[in-house]
């Protein structure tokens, strides 16, 4: 099982950070290799179809996103290839949001895990940076209103 975690302190309030994470339909605007289609959206549970194109690896899978207070849980599965569980944990202290993202990916074949490990680590780091950029852009737009 592949486990990756990333933490970051973002100069934004928790509600803004949470809204960017939950706005899955806009992911392709700042994660160009990720396309998300919402299948069913409820109050606290969203079901999606996701396509990720990482050049060497292309994946399409279903994902459930569950909002629970200051945690956002994601569970996805691609039949006979992998399943994953990810958690965004948010904590605001003096206007700064501490963001933690942890993901566990269980591949059916260990050979795939070996090939994906380095790419996945780099992408998780990139995802956090891009989310931070997106949050800062939203914060700037909100301050101009």
**Tokens 């207070």 sit at which residue?**
69
Which pLDDT value is given to residue 79?
65
The string of pLDDT tens digits covering residues 106-122 is 887 777 777 777 778 88
Q: Report residue 64's pLDDT band, with 50, 70 and 90 as the boundaries.
A: very high
**Torsion angle, alpha carbons of 61, 87, 110, 120, to 10:** 80
Which pLDDT value is given to residue 117?
79
Which pLDDT value is given to residue 45?
87
State the average pLDDT for the chain. 88
Domains, the chain, with CATH or none: 2-143 (3.30.530.20)
pLDDT at residue 7 is higher than 90: yes
The torsion angles phi and psi of 61, rounded to 5 degrees, stand at: -155, 165
pLDDT at residue 9 is higher than 90: yes
* Whole-prediction pTM: 0.84
Which pLDDT value is given to residue 22?
92
Q: From CA 25, how far away is CA 35, in angstroms rounded?
A: 8
For residue 26, what are its two tokens? 């806009």
């Amino acid at each position: 099982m592949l486990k990756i975690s990333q933490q970051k302190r973002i100069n934004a309030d928790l509600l803004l950070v949470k809204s960017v994470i939950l706005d899955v339909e806009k992911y392709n605007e700042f994660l160009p290799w990720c396309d998300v289609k919402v299948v069913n959206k409820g109050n606290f549970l969203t079901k999606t179809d996701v396509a990720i194109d990482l050049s060497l690896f292309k994946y399409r899978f279903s994902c459930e996103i569950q909002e629970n207070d200051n945690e956002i849980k994601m569970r996805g599965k691609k039949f006979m290839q992998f399943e994953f569980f990810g958690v965004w944990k948010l904590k605001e202290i003096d206007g700064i949001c501490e963001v933690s993202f942890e993901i566990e990916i269980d591949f059916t074949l260990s050979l795939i895990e070996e090939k994906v490990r380095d790419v996945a680590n780099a992408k998780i780091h990139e995802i956090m940076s891009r989310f931070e950029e997106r949050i800062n852009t939203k914060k700037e737009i909100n301050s101009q209103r």
